[in-house]
Amino acid sequence: MSAKRDYIIFRVLVSSLLIFLLSSCQNGQPDKKDDKKSPEQVAGTKISPSGDIPEIIVTDGESRNLGEVKEGIKTHVIFTLKNIGKARATDISVHDLSKGGCTAVSKISELAAGDSAKLEFIFETLGYGGKEQLRQVKVRYNNPELSPITLSVIADVLPTEAHQVPIGELFYNFFVLVDVRDEHKFREGHIVGAIPVPADELVDWASQLPETFMIYLYSDDGELSDRCAKILREKGYSRALSIVGGLAEWKDQYGERFIITGEK
């Protein structure tokens, strides 16, 4: 009888243990509703005290096709960024992936929730004639789960024709030729393209130009233009240069070629 009682007690204990273990397993299973990450679980994302996060979208599309663009034309491309999240987007930065040919010209550092801003960059074409060009920039901000955003622009850059030159080439090679003699001598004969600026007016005249501008100076034999060039360089015009030997040396080497008379 005692053995039977012990067996019944044993069965009760085992049953109780099984019920306890089954109950523990059920209570320990995660709720399916918790599978989704909360904002606090997004690694590296800066969130507001309320748990909101920023989210930037490009309202007018993340890619553009400019079609055909003539070499030398500088195209301005605008993208509109909008923060549709519920927290301020900060630490916004733009990174050029094109290794030249694309320059961001507007700086956006922050966007409040609901705000928009224009991001502008320049699509350079000089030196890329006859080629299809892809430019890309990446926009990063304080939500690494949704950034960077890649913005792309593509264009077919048409080469210049035989009678054309890109304006950038003119800019990089631009210079002015100045005759520092008096106006009477200038009218008697000067190098074509030269402009008359008497030596005593030269500094005032140069004040209208950037200090990096290329200025070639000449006089009858180069002595007056040498003095003028030194004065301009002392004023900061580091690219002011005197033509050695002046007009006399020009005529000795080239005769009357490119020498004209008159006021212009």
Rounded Cα distance between 59 and 61, Å, is 6
pLDDT band at 124 (very low <50, low <70, confident <90, very high): confident
Nearest to 74 by CA among 143, 138, 136, 124: 124
Q: What is the pLDDT of residue 170?
A: 86
Residue 241, pLDDT > 60, answer yes
Within the chain, residue ranges assigned H as helices are 2-28, 167-172, 183-188, 202-206, 223-234, 246-254
Do 135 and 45 form a contact (C-beta atoms < 8 A)?
Answer: no
Residue ranges of domains in the chain, CATH in brackets: 56-158 (2.60.40.10), 174-260 (3.40.250.10)
Top mean-pLDDT range of 27-31, 69-73, 217-221: 217-221
- Mean local confidence (pLDDT), 228-250: 97
Residue 225, pLDDT > 90, answer yes
Nearest to 73 by CA among 138, 133, 119: 133
Q: What is the pLDDT of residue 115?
A: 97
The average confidence (pLDDT) of the chain is 84
pLDDT band at 50 (very low <50, low <70, confident <90, very high): low
Reported as a single tens digit per residue, the pLDDT across 73-109 is 988 999 999 999 999 999 999 888 776 555 666 788 9
pLDDT band at 168 (very low <50, low <70, confident <90, very high): confident
Reported as a single tens digit per residue, the pLDDT across 16-46 is 554 554 454 444 444 444 444 444 444 455 5
Using a cut of 0.85, tell me whether the model's pTM lies above it.
no
Helices 223-234 and 246-254, axial angle in degrees (round to 10): 120
Instruction: Please report, as a single letter, which amino acid is at residue 188.
Output: E
With a pLDDT cut of 90, the percent of the chain lying above it is 61
